[in-house]
Amino acid sequence: MKVKTMNQVRYSCIFVIMIFLAGMTASSAPAETVDLDLARKTVKISTFYNGTTVRATGRLPAQADLLLEVSGPKKSVYLKVKGKVAGILWMNKTDVELENTPAVYMLYAPEGTLKNNLVRAETGVGYKALQDEVTLHPDSADKPFVFGEYIKLMEASGVYGFHEGSVRYGPVNEGRKEYTVTLDIPPKMTAGSYTVTALAVQGGKVLDQVQVPLAIELSGFPRFIADLAFNHSLLFGIMAVFIAVATGLIIGMIFKGGGGAH
């Protein structure tokens, strides 16, 4: 009877120790992590779609800063580099290929990111990090110049961008603070799979990061047209011809009814 009682005490002590260690782990681990939640993980492109926004929220260590990336998918891009021929005429001089280039890249950061040098080579984010990942063919081409011009082109279309001051911090609770970011989804972001990455950065180092997928899908009439084009090409071709002929007849009737051109 005495042996049984001692075993019970021993097991009780082990159980208490295990609970204590689990509590320590649970209370300390989240302090070094970042989490990410999207208000919606699927964006629908309907007939009158003209871009939208998605709200991103989460928590991270109080002393860290948040960098948030939207990227993907990667592809090869073919460009023509212009230059002066004989020092007079501007002409296409070289064909180049940018391999492993993300179709979309947007970086969201808090106010003072550039001043405080939060985007560094060590963090693996930003245009410089992208340039290091991209492969340029031919090798003799000026990679910083070509990729820099490509970035300007993509920024003009709205699918590349650096948004400083877009990260808003909330109150600090138990060593962690809340954050909010409004992500821009421009109309030129086509249907596909994208990745949203939240990084907790401190002292030029990434403490932790988490990724959440974001899908953009066709719906309604655009989905119907895409399905016809890819899965019922003959019917799609017949419809295209019919619409073109009908449009031509309508335009002809309008101009004829107006007395024609003079």
Q: For residue 185, give the nearest of 142, 216, 209 by alpha carbon.
A: 216
What is the average per-residue pLDDT within 195-203?
Answer: 95
- The more confidently predicted of residues 255 and 10 is 255
Residue 236, pLDDT score: 57
Neighbours of 154 (CB within 10 A): 20
Name the packing angle between helices 233-257 and 220-231 (round to 10°). Answer: 120
Q: For residue 68, give the nearest of 201, 207, 199 by alpha carbon.
A: 199
The residues, ordered by sequence, that sit 6+ positions from 123 with a Cβ below 8 Å of its Cβ are 67, 129, 199, 201, 204, 205, 206
- Check if the beta carbon of residue 55 is closer than 8 Å to that of residue 180: yes
Chain-centroid distance, C-alpha 240? 34
Cis ω for the linkage preceding 187 (within 30 of 0) = no
Q: What is the DSSP string of 128-181?
A: HHHHHH-EEESTTS-HHHHHHHHHHHHHHHTSEEEEET-EEEEEEETTEEEEEE
Residue 152, pLDDT score: 95
Q: Given pLDDT bands bounded at 50, 70 and 90, which one contains residue 43?
A: very high
Tell me the per-residue pLDDT of 98-127, one tens digit each, with 9 for 90 and over: 999 999 999 999 999 888 888 887 788 999
Q: Given pLDDT bands bounded at 50, 70 and 90, which one contains residue 244?
A: confident
- The more confidently predicted of residues 93 and 11 is 93
What is the C-alpha separation between 261 and 149, in angstroms, rounded?
45
Residue 9, pLDDT score: 47
**Tokens standing for 50?**
């003209």
pLDDT at 67 over 50: yes
Q: What percent of the chain is predicted at pLDDT more than 70?
A: 75
Tell me the per-residue pLDDT of 140-198, one tens digit each, with 9 for 90 and over: 788 999 999 999 999 999 999 999 999 999 999 999 999 999 999 999 999 999 999 99
Average pLDDT over all residues of the chain: 82
pLDDT at 39 over 80: yes
**Which residues are bridge partners to 253 per DSSP?**
none
What is the C-alpha separation between 33 and 199, in angstroms, rounded?
9
Residue 227, pLDDT score: 60
What is the C-alpha separation between 124 and 194, in angstroms, rounded?
18
- Check if the beta carbon of residue 209 is closer than 8 Å to that of residue 64: no
- Check if the beta carbon of residue 104 is closer than 8 Å to that of residue 66: no
Residue 14, pLDDT score: 52
Q: Given pLDDT bands bounded at 50, 70 and 90, which one contains residue 247?
A: confident
**What percent of the residues of the chain are helix, what percent strand, and what percent coil, each to the nearest 5?**
35, 40, 25
pLDDT at 260 over 60: no
